[in-house]
Amino acid sequence: MNILPDHIYAVATGDIVGSTTLDKGDRERLRDVMRQAGDTLRQLWPDTIPLPVALFAGDRWQFLTTTPAAILRPAIHYRAALIASELKVDTRISFGVGTVDYIPDSNLPEGEGPAFRRSGRPLDTMGKLGLLLSAGDDRRASGWNAALRMLDAVIRHQWTPARARAVTGANLALSQEQVGQLWSPPITQQSVADHLAAAEWKAIDDVFIAFEADWAQQAE
């Protein structure tokens, strides 16, 4: 990957909540679940996620986007996919915004630069926080961290695996009938609508749209 020295990137780094409590069989399946979710992100957002989602340290994952505006929607999609999976696991996510010095052999976990440091280091001190954004002295970060705390609260307290699955479909702009086909056997359009309403999907999509618009602008 060709790194532009003054360009602003974003990095999302996450770890699986409660991974140490999984039994041996589920821990073995966890990597497959994480890898499948990561492969889906590359397929859905190939223009803004230029490298494969990296898995490392047992239960950690990481991906980079070419612009800060492009980081939130796929990161929450990844989280929804994990919650909707057979393992029903959740993940914390730490976002870092900044320049990138280098990524040796396109190996994301060995990448260096402010975006990587701001993403990786806070993950170990987040505690029960589910979402956190670090962007140096960019004044937008504090306001967005307040919004991310609200978003995390909705995900923690209102998302079930079924609601998360509905969100993954709605996030791709599928119709509710098409989202229903994600189940086997398929569920009705009304059931999908109920899941999305309970998941607060319209409000969450508004957050995505506002985030994308705000971070598409140059920092003041």
- The pLDDT of residue 57 is 87
Given its phi and psi angles, is residue 158 left (phi above 0), alpha (psi -120 to 50 degrees) or beta? Answer: alpha
Rounded CA gap, 137 and 64, in Å? Answer: 20
- The pLDDT of residue 220 is 54
- Quick one: tokens of 53? 């989602």
Beta bridge mates, 11: 64, 96
Whether pLDDT at 22 is above 70: yes
Is residue 171 very low, low, confident or very high in pLDDT (cuts 50, 70, 90)?
A: very high
* Mean pLDDT to the nearest integer, 137-158: 97
- The pLDDT of residue 98 is 97
Rounded CA gap, 132 and 214, in Å? Answer: 17
27-53: buried (b, 16+ CB within 10 Å) or exposed (e) per residue?
A: beebeebbeebbebbeeebeebbbbeb
- The pLDDT of residue 219 is 63
Read off the pLDDT of residues 64-81 as tens digits, 9 standing for 90 and up: 999 999 999 999 999 999
Answer yes or no: are the C-beta atoms of 171 and 212 closer than 8 Å.
no
The total number of residues written for the chain in this structure: 220
Read off the pLDDT of residues 78-118 as tens digits, 9 standing for 90 and up: 999 999 999 999 999 999 999 999 999 889 999 999 999 99
Read off the pLDDT of residues 184-216 as tens digits, 9 standing for 90 and up: 999 999 999 999 999 999 999 999 999 999 999
Is residue 140 very low, low, confident or very high in pLDDT (cuts 50, 70, 90)?
A: very high
Is residue 20 very low, low, confident or very high in pLDDT (cuts 50, 70, 90)?
A: confident
- Sequence ranges of the domains in the chain: 9-156
Number of H helices, E strands in the chain: 8, 5
Cis (ω within 30 of 0) for the bond into 185? yes
Whether pLDDT at 1 is above 90: no
- The pLDDT of residue 217 is 87
Beta strands in 67-112 (DSSP E): 91-98
Beta strands in the chain (DSSP E): 9-16, 54-56, 60-65, 91-98, 131-134
- The pLDDT of residue 38 is 96
Pick the CATH number of 9-156 from 3.90.79.10, 3.30.9.10, 3.30.160.40, 3.30.70.1230: 3.30.70.1230
